[in-house]
Every structure is written in structure tokens, then in C-alpha cells.
Amino acid sequence: MNKPSTFTNELQQQDQKVVTGSEMLLNGLLMEGVECVFGYPGGNVLYIYDAMVHNRDFKHILTRHEQGAIHAADGYARSTGKVGVCIATSGPGATNLVTGIATAYYDSVPLVVITGNVSTAVMGTDAFQEADIVSMTMSITKHSYLVRDAQELPRIIHEAFHIANTGRKGPVLIDIPKDVSNQKMLDQPVSPIHIRGYHGDPIPNHAETDRLIQAIAQAQRPVIIAGGGVVYSNASNELIAFANKTNIPVATTLLGLGGFPSAHDLWLGMPGHHGAYAANMAIQNADLILSIGSRFDDRVTMKLDGFAPQAKWIAHIDIDPAEIGKNIKTDIACIGDIKAVLQYANTLAVTSQSSSWIAEVQQNKRLYPLRYNDSDTELKPQFVIEMIHETTQGKAIITTDVGQHQMWAAQFYKFKHPRSLITSGGLGTMGFGFPAAIGAQIGNPDRLVVSINGDGGMQMCAQEMAICAINQIPVKIVVINNQVLGMVKQQQELMYERRYSQIDLAGSPDFVKLAEAYGIKGLRASHKEEAIRIWEEALHTPGPVLVEFVVPTEENVYPMVLAGTTLDQMIMGDFE
């Protein structure tokens, strides 16, 4: 019989409970309010998974791939505003998370990513399934921890959640060697957070906001570009009040959609690469550009030296000082939490001299709406998106993958509320949309979640249909099937003189049969009447349903601004 160690005997003589590093990890996650963790086990996290057996309060969803786990955690975080959590083992388990970490990092999504590692005794020896995941992800994490002593876990967990969800939000990595996860220690209370040199939310500089208000008073053609920061800081109501008081039209970026209601008279649509005519022309003719939580990325600005050529003032409200002036020279910099900055600005806000300007931009909106050539013989993807919008009244949570369907969803689904569009913006990650929908549905069990995918991206994480079926997660899975890598085809058509290369997806599986193989109801439509009927059937079917809409291969996304051209050089397609 093995005798208990002297260390264990000493611990048991004390009043505090003896726990392992793994038990402390799970308890710490529960103390942070974690509702669900997404993960995939492996050898170097088995102590952590063993601790789950006796912890009935801990909820874990077993995905079918680590990338599915982190995208689900991401969708949970974006849709709820809470920190998403995922777990993977060392080596390939950890490296399979890298794309998801980068996806969250570029879009400022708060995640705590937990990875296993080999035991500390063999670290650095190229042991089986060893990978230095901390070094690999240093440029795409907000902070990283390599835990060498389980005594540090309570502090590290508490700090990780604080760092992930304050300031400019983002992913934090906790790497735990196998022996540390089994190290015995005394259960201990969490200490107050004090991170030397780290300041979460900078205090807004009111003097700069005062300058902004003065510029607005002088401006005659002002425009607001509202980005994802408005959504992440829960500042939608403050933005609406600010726009109403100042009478400034608002364009919302891809990640900002829903941060300002699409039905508002001052809303111009989405700007940029596939932006609305009214939004792009307003930016090009504005004398004041105010970016609120948008980082002037290249898909919004397009050709930098031709961006907003008539602007006398460029103002920027952002929580991250590093974004100020990074891409566009900034005249007025309001650094701080957007909600706090706008709350102060609303106490001073004045109406801009923009009456004739508002009439001009609204006329552009009427004369040049988003349009497409509908058909009685073919099922157009834009019609499908409009149908989904009308039947859900714009109230659903929509997740998308990346490609043409993503842009059609952004253009033709009219978002009413923040956190209603879950999509990969900065990294443009195919395979993101469906697992993100699973996370969004778990975080919002009483809301309808619709996952809109292309036939390319759907195949990158299709295996996660298993967990929808097993757990009866009622996501409505839409596949816009044009049998081609549509966005790549469109670029090859317009910029590579129709030299099509490696874009044919005609050999893809039968998505209806694939869904049925996983135990999910599958439906298919190829014309309007059929589409309307089966979509209604899907909405009234409990549990998950996959609906495949067969659409023309030739359909393109317009408007479009080609790389190297300016926002006013839009290709309007058939409505040139």
C-alpha cells in the first residue's frame, strides 16, 4: 500500500481543503461565472478532465475539433459580452486553436484559452506532443501565462478574466503543464487584482471631447463611422442619442452592424469594400469624419491616400491608444471607453449645420439602394437573406462564415440590435460561422440563432453538427450553395481577367444527407416557392435543422470597390 506523502499529511492537518491544480482551475472558472466551457481532451489535460467527473456544477461541451471549440467560445463571447472559455491539450490540440485565437484577437473578443503542456521535468526536450504555444501565440494574445506552480492558479485565473474583458478586449492564454494540473495545494481565496503596469479602461480626456464638440459645431458635412467598439462597449444607446442630438449620419462597419439601428433615418449602411453607395459617397465628401470604435482598416478605407479627401477634421474615439493615427492621421483623439466618452459628449452635444447635407445623403440612399436582379426561375442569394430577415423580423442572432454569403448577409439583413451579427471581420476565418452559432445559442438559449454559411466554409467545421444533434442545440443552419468559392471567383473574374483557378466546389457532399447522417433534419430549395415553404418548416421544427439553398454560381456581390481604388470608384454591377 502506498503511504501518503509527508506534504499531503501536513496539508490534511490544516483546516483548509486540499485540492489539485485541476480542481482549483475548475473552481476558479466557476467563481468567474463561467457557464460553459468548450473543449477537446488529450493526454496532458486528463487531470483537468478527471476533475470534471465529480464537479457537477461544471458544464463542458465536447466539440469534434479544437477549432470548433474556440470558435464556439468566440460566438458565445460576442453574443453575450461575457468571456468565452475553451480547453485543449498540448501539441496539436493547442496549435489547432491558433486560428481561433487570431480570429478573436483581430476582432477584440474576450477569451480565456486553456491549454495543457508536457510536465515541467521534460519541457524543452521535444517530448511527445510538446509545443511552445505561448511563444507561438505571443503576437495574437493580449497576455499569456505559463503556470509553473499550482499555487499561482487562483491569481492567474482571476487576472486572465480581468485582462481579457477590460480595456480593448482580447484573448488570454493559460498554459498548464501536466504535473502542475495534478499538484496538490491548499484551497485558497482569490486575492484582489493588482497588475503592475496594466490599466484596463483609460480615463477619457474631456478636453479632447470638448474639441470634438467644437468641430461638430463648425462642420457642415459630418459623418460617423461606427465600428465594433460601439457594440463591445455596450454604447449603442449612447450612439443613438449622440447622432440624434448632433444630426450626424452614421455608417456602420461590418462588425458595427446592429450598433446603430438600420431603420434609423440617419443610418447610411455599411461603408467600404462592399459598402453602400450612400455610405461611401458620404465619407468621400465629408468635412468631418468621426470614427467611433472603428480602426480605419483597409476594407473600410480602401486606397489610403484617396480616403475622405475633403475632410478638414478626422476625429477618433477608441479605447486603444495604439489605434489612434495608425492608419489615418488623426486631428482629434478621444481615448477611453466609448460608452463613457459618449455619455460625456451627450452632455455637451450641439446640432451640426448639416440640414442640406442630410438631404443630400438621404437622396443618395433613395437613388442608389442595394439592388439585385431577381429571378422567377432561379433562387437568388439576396432573396434568401431578405426572406430570413422578414421571417425573423430582424431579431435573430445571425452568424456567418466568410465569403459572398457574408457580404449578402451584411447588406440585406437589417440588424436592429447590437450583438446580433457574429462574423469574422479582421482575420476573415472560413469555418468560423457554424461553431460560432453553437456558442451563441448556448449563451442565448431563448433566442433564434441562424448560421449562414457558404458551401466552402460549411465543410471546414461541418463535424460540429454532431454536438448540435447530441445536445439538441436548435441552431438553424443555412448553406448558400453556389458550388464555387464565390468570393475568390469574383476577384478572379474582375481582377484576373477571368482566369479561374481552383475554385470549383461541385464535388461537395449532399448537405441534406450529411445533416441526416449526423441526426439533423435536412431540407433543400432551388426556387422561391420552395425556399419560402421549407424555411417556414425549418423555423417551426424544434431542434437543429440544416437548410440548403441552391443559388446561381454566377451571382456576384455589388457594390464593390477594387483594391487600389478609392471609395467613390464603386463597381455597381448591373446597375452601373
Task: Assign 235 to helix, strand or coil.
Answer: coil
Beta-strand relationship, 84-88 and 521-525: unpaired
Say if CB 198 and CB 42 are below 8 A apart. Answer: no
Amino acid identity of 371?
R
Residues 6+ apart with CB under 8 A from 245: 346, 349, 350, 351
Task: Assign 545 to helix, strand or coil.
Answer: strand
Instruction: Return the biggest CA–CA distance within the chain.
Output: 89
Copy the grid coordinates of residue 362. Answer: 438621404
Beta-strand relationship, 476-481 and 421-422: unpaired
Cis peptide bond N-terminal to 559, omega within 30: yes
Query: Could you list the active site residues?
Result: 66, 128-129, 178, 487
Copy the grid coordinates of residue 88. Answer: 485543449
Using CA atoms, how far apart are residues 272 and 221, in angstroms rounded to an integer? 19
Residues 6+ apart with CB under 8 A from 28: 153, 154, 157, 158, 190
Using CA atoms, how far apart are residues 324 and 318, in angstroms rounded to an integer? 8
Alpha helices in 457-510 (DSSP H): 465-471, 486-495
Distances (CA, A) of 218 to 292, 400, 523: 19, 40, 57
Alpha carbon dihedral 361, 362, 366, 368, in 10-degree steps, equals 20
Beta-strand relationship, 250-252 and 267-269: parallel
Using CA atoms, how far apart are residues 423 and 397, in angstroms rounded to an integer? 11
| Angle separating helix axes 355-367 and 277-285, nearest 10 degrees | 150
Residues 6+ apart with CB under 8 A from 52: 26, 58, 60
Using CA atoms, how far apart are residues 353 and 246, in angstroms rounded to an integer? 9
Using CA atoms, how far apart are residues 332 and 315, in angstroms rounded to an integer? 4
Say if CB 557 and CB 407 are below 8 A apart. Answer: yes
Residues 6+ apart with CB under 8 A from 505: 455, 456, 483, 484, 485
